[in-house]
Amino acid sequence: MKKKIAVRADGGTKNGLGHIMRTMALAEELKKDFDVFYICSNKNEFDAGRKTILEKGYSVYSDTEYKTGNLLIIDMYGIDENYITMYRKQFDKIMYIDDLHELKYYDCDILLNRNIGSEDIKYNIRKGGQILLGGKYCILRKEFYRSCKTFNESVKEVLITLGGSDVTNSSAELAKVISNFGFNVSIAIGAGFSYENKKRLEDIKSDKIKLYYEPVMADMYEKCDIAVSALGGSLFELCALGVPFVGVTAADNQMETAYIGEKKGLFKYGGDLRNYNKTDFIKAFNFIAYNVEERKKVYDSQRKAVDINGTKNIVNCIYAILI
């Protein structure tokens, strides 16, 4: 009988689908040898996340149901130390995926923080636990197990990817700004985009602005010369494939990444979409689009920042504690 791995994560139109997408990248590798299922909140605001998981063939159970297994992977914000510990009665081992370093103690057997600069964080975790930090353990889906793009000195094609839900509904505004400079714009539309946002995008669709619904993102990155991206999981995908980009934020947990990532030369920061400043965004965009020398520096820095085998590195650590 296969050992059981549960994933506790939520995603929807308000908080995005990042937790769902990155845990599914792990699940795709783990399901070869384990029975993988999800535990999710049944609140309406998380409908998009549950739908995405079910479409990929995983079972989804309510967080009010009592489930047991050999490993629980938790990928959530807004919890305290007791939340992790309470699952000890139900699961033999616990893995926690962290971004914020908010807890004083993590009662887990594996702690993962893939974020840029996380290597310097000092964590207090369960005795004997493993701590996985930085780009060596970035989570990438199978579609990104490919060679880095060749650097392109000219820019014609621009991709806008603001996550699975575009929580600030900013894709249309950014597309209009970029297309006015004469560039071709492709917009990746995730499963969590609201109806109103999709309608707004359909209204601006043209020969210069094209829409792609739930596309294979690695293929989208291959087609573009540069990108405008939220600083979630796509940061690591863009770095892995070598796509210079303008990074934008839409949540508090992305602010530190914006500061550290730009300092390391991985992208040019274009501002916080919750307080959108058109002048600041255009300045950052022009830096990436028109400055070949600086764009090449970004490209070179990206290739050193992440390990395309990051998902496999994490999975190997999971196998080590379960097999």
DSSP H helices in the chain: 18-30, 47-55, 81-86, 171-179, 195-204, 217-223, 234-241, 255-263, 278-290, 292-305, 310-322
Res 191: pLDDT? 87
C-alpha 218/C-alpha 201 separation (Å) is 22
Residue 321 backbone dihedrals phi, psi, to 5 degrees: -95, -10
Same domain, 37 and 182: no
C-alpha to C-alpha distances, 8 to 92, 96, 134, 140, 254, nearest whole angstrom: 15, 10, 22, 19, 21
State the Cα angle at 317 between 313 and 320, rounded to 5°. Answer: 135
Tokens for 196?
Answer: 């109103």
Same domain, 259 and 315: no
Tokens for 273?
Answer: 């979409």
State the Cα angle at 233 between 32 and 108, rounded to 5°. Answer: 60
Number of domains in the chain: 2
The CATH number of whichever domain residue 101 belongs to comes to 3.40.50.11190
C-alpha 71/C-alpha 124 separation (Å) is 20
Same domain, 165 and 57: no
Same domain, 164 and 189: yes
Chain centroid, CA 211 distance in Å = 20
- Domain limits at 206? 143-305
Same domain, 261 and 152: yes
Same domain, 153 and 259: yes
State the Cα angle at 159 between 157 and 160, rounded to 5°. Answer: 145
Same domain, 148 and 276: yes
C-alpha 142/C-alpha 46 separation (Å) is 25
Among 133, 86, 136, 132, residue whose Cα is nearest residue 107: 86
Same domain, 265 and 312: no
Res 145: pLDDT? 85
Same domain, 82 and 156: no
Same domain, 168 and 293: yes
Res 211: pLDDT? 98
Same domain, 149 and 108: no
Same domain, 90 and 126: yes
C-alpha 257/C-alpha 318 separation (Å) is 26
DSSP 193: -
What predicted TM-score, i.e. pTM, was given to this entire model? 0.86
Tokens for 24?
Answer: 């599914």
Count how many Cα atoms sit within 13 Å of the Cα of residue 157 in the half-sphere of its side chain: 12
The CATH number of whichever domain residue 245 belongs to comes to 3.40.50.2000
What percent of the chain is helix, strand and coil (3-state, nearest 5)?
40, 20, 35
Give the pLDDT of the chain (323 residues) as one tens digit per residue: 899 999 999 998 777 888 999 999 999 999 999 999 999 999 999 999 999 999 999 999 999 999 999 999 999 999 999 999 999 999 999 999 999 899 999 999 999 999 988 999 999 999 999 999 999 999 999 888 888 889 999 999 999 999 988 999 999 999 999 999 999 999 999 988 999 999 999 999 999 999 999 999 999 999 999 999 999 889 999 999 999 999 999 988 899 999 999 999 999 999 999 999 999 999 999 999 999 999 999 999 998 899 999 999 999 999 999 98
C-alpha 137/C-alpha 28 separation (Å) is 16
